[in-house]
Structure 1
Amino acid sequence: MLYDLNIAWSPHTKPAELERTLRFSASLGYDVVAVNHTIGGQIPANLTKDTLPSFELPVSSSPSKPKLPTVLRRATVVLTEPAQHHRLPQLASAYDILAVRPQTDDAFSAACQSLNDISIISLDMTVRQPFTFRPKPCMFAVSRGIRFEVCYSQVLQGPVPAHVLGPKGNKDWNSGYSGGADARARAAFIGNVSSLIRATRGRGIVISSEAQSVLGLRGPADVMNLLHVWGLPADRAKEGLSVLPRSVVVNEGLKRSGFRGVIDIISSADPVQGDVEMAEAVNGKAEIATGNPQGNRGKKSKNQESNKKRKNDDAETLDAGGDGEGQPISKRQEKRLRAAMRKKQIDAGTADV
């Protein structure tokens, strides 16, 4: 299965245009698509699914149109201040996937090392980043299961428009988000992608489109060729379209449906005969270990039988006059044996007289 976890969406996007983009992505071969809502301002305090903007797809019964892929809801938070971190868990419960786009060095370090509610670090590669891609924090993020996202549509049609991120005139939110992909933006994109590939050794990179329309989408083969030209190996590029995004979707689903993201209980199965027998055996051992009278009674009877057998064997040995070859003799048995031998000698002397 092929994944595209970033289809740009804003409240200004028309439902017909969104439907067209989704159907075209399905025709290209993408099976799962995430509609991304970028949040550039402060996260609302009272955050519920009703207060968040929702996209609606028009229902069309035309059989000639390609079917829609599996659509997920995603939110990307533009991190500029540490005060935004404590509201990320509330936002994660309202969306299927949560990603961050750090704008400062501190935000990037926090996303790589300490933030636990995110699964993707999305970056705008068309601008010069205020931080460098160092191998140690990048590999630490990959070991934690966090993926870095490369959006190829940024170099084709330009980054996300400024009105998606926040109000006009805000330099922190709108920096690098106005204008198209000129020669300088393309050069910055290639340089940033190459630096990220060197820092991560090509691991943990998810490839998405961030397409605003059908013009920003490309087929999977073309995308792999593009990333291979920019320095990513072909096998890593294939994983970035299939294996790695699938792990993101599965892990995010476990966080929301399972117990602490570890156990997912679907239904209880009926016990079979083998399980019942195993449970009875385990219960029997537990009764003996915990001092159950029945278990102790059985254990005592076995010990008594073994002791009785040993006494009978000792008596037979004494009667036969043997010295218990092959078995160690205690001092008490040795005394009894000497007394028996002395008695026999006295009896033999009396009979001679």
Structure 2
Amino acid sequence: MFYDLNVPWAPTSPDLSRTVAFLSELGYDVIALSHIHSGKFPQSQLNPIPENPFPKHPNLRILRRITVILDDPSQNHRLAALTSAYDIVALRPANEKLLLQACKELDCDLISVDLSQRMGYHFKHKTVGLAIQRGVFLEINYSASINDITARRNLIGNAAALIRATRGRGIVISSEARKALGVRGPFDVINLATLWGLSQDKGREAVDGLPRLVVAQAKLKRNSFRGVIGVVVNEPLQGNKRKAEDEAGPSDQLKSEASLEDNKKAGAPPKLSKRARKALARASKS
């Protein structure tokens, strides 16, 4: 299965439906429509993307994603609430300090840096390694570099630097295509990844295995608060004691026998359980 986890959501644009149709024709099985958010969050965060916006493509699984432009640390406390509203939560840090914070501790599924722009810092293995250790993946988007020479130059250099910093691990490749002309087929993307320094196998993982893992982990995180809580019904005290005695293993029986022997040596009468006393009473009556 092939994935494109970043297709910008533009409901008023006719290009969106064409892009989705073209992705399906190229062989993609799962795509994520991305709502881009910048600034502070409202008190009630609503997902503007409907659950099934393109029913004409039944074989295409469509996920809903939010990409948060992270340029203010005050946004961080609302990120956890987004998990229940979207299938995928991605962050786009605006500077190195926010990138470090996103890699180290922020609640998200993807970190998507705009690599088509000139970076004001260098990627460090120590920084991006924090994200990989937490199971957070780093995303490379290729569409902006298709028709822009400067963006292409920046993307090649920045993607190569990111791949070196991550040692080729934890990389997911998406299109971020706003038009159908900005999309490439899965195998073209794999070949493109080799120009950045990924092997063919790693390139395949970037559009197949790792995006699948992103989706699975995000679903697990989203449903974790709905976990089943086991309720134990209180039994009568006598029933609990009887059940405990019935389920006592050999080691428990040996401990009981040892306790009786100690009582005998001390000259004290042995302590009998309630069950044993009842059995003794029945035996004396008969």
- 1:53 equivalenced with 2:48 (yes/no): yes
Consecutive unaligned residues in structure 1, runs of 5 or more: 61-65, 158-180, 266-279, 290-294, 304-353
Equivalent-residue separation in structure 2 for 1:281 and 1:23 (angstroms): 64
Give the drift of 1:296.
7.8
The alignment's C-alpha RMSD in Å is 3.1
Deviations 1:25-54 (A, max 9, x none): 12212111110111122221222x3xx322
Which residue of structure 1 aligns with residue 32 of structure 2?
A: 34
Match of 1:219 among 182, 185, 191: 185
Give the drift of 1:298.
9.1
Secondary structure of 1:285's counterpart equals coil
Query: Where do residues 237-276 of structure 1 align in structure 2 (5 Å cutoff)?
Result: 237-259=203-225
Match of 1:190 among 115, 135, 156: 156
Equivalent-residue separation in structure 1 for 2:178 and 2:124 (angstroms): 31
Query: Which amino acid is 1:54 matched to?
Result: I
* Number of aligned positions between the proteins: 250
Match of 2:125 among 135, 143, 160: 135
Equivalent-residue separation in structure 1 for 2:129 and 2:254 (angstroms): 58
Deviations 1:239-282 (A, max 9, x none): 1111111111111111111358xxx66xxxxxxxxxxxxxx999
Equivalent-residue separation in structure 2 for 1:282 and 1:145 (angstroms): 46
Which residue of structure 2 aligns with residue 6 of structure 1?
A: 6
Equivalent-residue separation in structure 1 for 2:255 and 2:126 (angstroms): 64
Give the drift of 1:3.
1.1
Q: Identity across aligned pairs (percent)?
A: 42
Which residue of structure 2 aligns with residue 341 of structure 1?
A: none
CA contact (8 A) 2:156 2:195 kept: no
Query: Which amino acid is 2:2 matched to?
Result: L
CA contact (8 A) 1:228 1:234 kept: yes
CA contact (8 A) 1:197 1:232 kept: yes
Which residue of structure 2 aligns with residue 284 of structure 1?
A: 247
Which residue of structure 2 aligns with residue 89 of structure 1?
A: 80
Match of 2:116 among 126, 129, 132: 126
CA contact (8 A) 2:145 2:151 kept: yes
Change (3 A) 1:147 1:296: closer
Secondary structure of 2:168's counterpart equals coil
CA contact (8 A) 2:103 2:131 kept: yes
Equivalent-residue separation in structure 1 for 2:55 and 2:160 (angstroms): 42
Deviations 1:77-105 (A, max 9, x none): 00011001001111222111000000012
CA contact (8 A) 1:23 1:67 kept: no
Equivalent-residue separation in structure 2 for 1:23 and 1:10 (angstroms): 15
**TM-score, scaled to structure 1:** 0.64
Larger radius of gyration: 1
Equivalent-residue separation in structure 2 for 1:21 and 1:282 (angstroms): 68
Consecutive unaligned residues in structure 2, runs of 5 or more: 229-242, 262-286
CA contact (8 A) 1:3 1:31 kept: yes
Give the drift of 1:235.
1.1
Equivalent-residue separation in structure 1 for 2:145 and 2:101 (angstroms): 27
**TM-score, scaled to structure 2:** 0.78
Secondary structure of 1:222's counterpart equals helix
Give the drift of 1:210.
0.8
Which residue of structure 2 aligns with residue 44 of structure 1?
A: 42
